[in-house]
Amino acid sequence: MAEALKIGIAGLGTVGAATIRILTAAHNELAARAGRPIEIVAVSARSKGRDRGVDLGPYRWYDDPAAMAADPEVRLVVELMGGSEGAAKEAIEAALSLGKPVVTANKALLAAHGPALAALAEMNGTTIAFEAAAAGGIPVIKALREALVGNRISRVSGILNGTCNYILSRMEAEGLDFAACLKAAQELGYAEADPTFDVEGYDTAHKLALLTALAFGTEVDGDAVYVEGISGVTPLDLDMAEELGFRIKLLGVAERTPQGIEQRVHPTFVSRQSQLSSVMGVTNAVAIEADPVGTITLVGPGAGGGATASAVVGDIVDIARGNLVATFGRPSGELEKPIRAPMQRHEGGYYIRLSVLDRPGAAAIIATRMAERGISLESILQKGRDARRNANGSVPVILITYATTELLIRNAVAAIAEDGVLDGPPQVIRIER
The 10s digit of each residue's pLDDT in 148-187 is 999 999 999 999 999 999 999 999 999 999 999 999 888 8
Return the biggest CA–CA distance within the chain.
83
**For residue 391, pLDDT beyond 80:** no
> Is 6 noted as a catalytic residue in this protein?
no
Q: Where are the domains of the chain?
A: 148-300, 346-432
Q: Which of 100, 107, 207, 249 is catalytic?
A: 207
- Cα–Cα distance, 84 to 86 (Å, whole number): 7
Task: List the one residue out of 66, 5, 12 whose CA is nearest residue 38.
Answer: 5
How much is the pLDDT for 362? 87
Residue 229 pLDDT: 96
Q: What is the mean pLDDT of residues 405-433?
A: 92
Q: Distance (Å, rounded) from C-alpha 24 to C-alpha 20?
A: 6
306 pLDDT exceeds 90?
A: no
Compute the CA torsion angle 287, 292, 293, 295 (nearest 10 deg). 30
Q: Tell me what the mean pLDDT of segment 134-144 comes to.
A: 92
pLDDT (average), residues 388-396 = 67
Contact 167, 230 (CB under 8 A): yes
pLDDT above 80: residue 1: no
415 vs 153: CA distance, rounded Å: 38
How would residue 392 be classed by pLDDT, with cut points 50, 70 and 90? Answer: low
Mean pLDDT of 325-334: 90
Query: 3-class SS at 396?
Result: strand
Architecture of domain 346-432: 2-Layer Sandwich (3.30)
- Whether residue 384 is predicted with pLDDT greater than 70 in this model: the reply is no
* pLDDT tier, 387 (very low <50, low <70, confident <90, very high otherwise): very low
User: Which run of H or of E encompasses 397?
Assistant: strand 394-401
Query: Span 252-260, mean pLDDT?
Result: 93
Please report the pLDDT score of residue 383 as a whole number. 67
* Rounded mean pLDDT, 280-302: 94
Q: What percent of the chain lies above the pLDDT cut of 70?
A: 97
Rounded to an integer, what distance in angstroms lies between the CA atom of residue 104 and that of residue 91? 11
Element (H, E) at 251: strand 246-257
Q: Do domains 148-300 and 346-432 have the same CATH topology?
A: no
Q: pLDDT tens digits for 105-126?
A: 999 999 999 999 999 999 999 9
15 Cβ partners below 8 Å, 6+ apart?
A: 80, 105, 132, 305, 308, 309, 312
Q: What is the mean pLDDT of residues 191-204?
A: 90
Give how far Cα 182 sits from Cα of 168, 170, 280, Å.
9, 10, 16
The H or E element spanning position 353 is: strand 347-357
Q: Of 85-94, 210-219, 341-350, which range is least confident?
A: 341-350
Which pLDDT does position 416 carry in this prediction? 92
Q: Does residue 385 surpass a pLDDT of 60?
A: no
pLDDT over 90, % of the chain: 76
Predicted local distance difference test score (pLDDT) of residue 249: 97
The answer to whether 78 and 45 have CB atoms below 8 angstroms apart is: no
Cα separation, 303 vs 173, in Å, equals 22
Report how far residue 282's alpha carbon sits from residue 268's, in angstroms, rounded to the nearest whole number: 17
Instruction: Give residue-wise pLDDT tens across range 50-96.
Output: 888 888 989 999 999 999 999 999 999 999 998 889 999 999 999 99
CA distance 129 to 121: 11
Let me know if domain 148-300 sits in CATH 3.90.550.10: no
- Distance CA(34)–CA(32), nearest Å, equals 6
pLDDT of residue 390: 56
Beta strands in 95-151 (DSSP E): 102-104, 128-129
| pLDDT value of residue 315 | 96
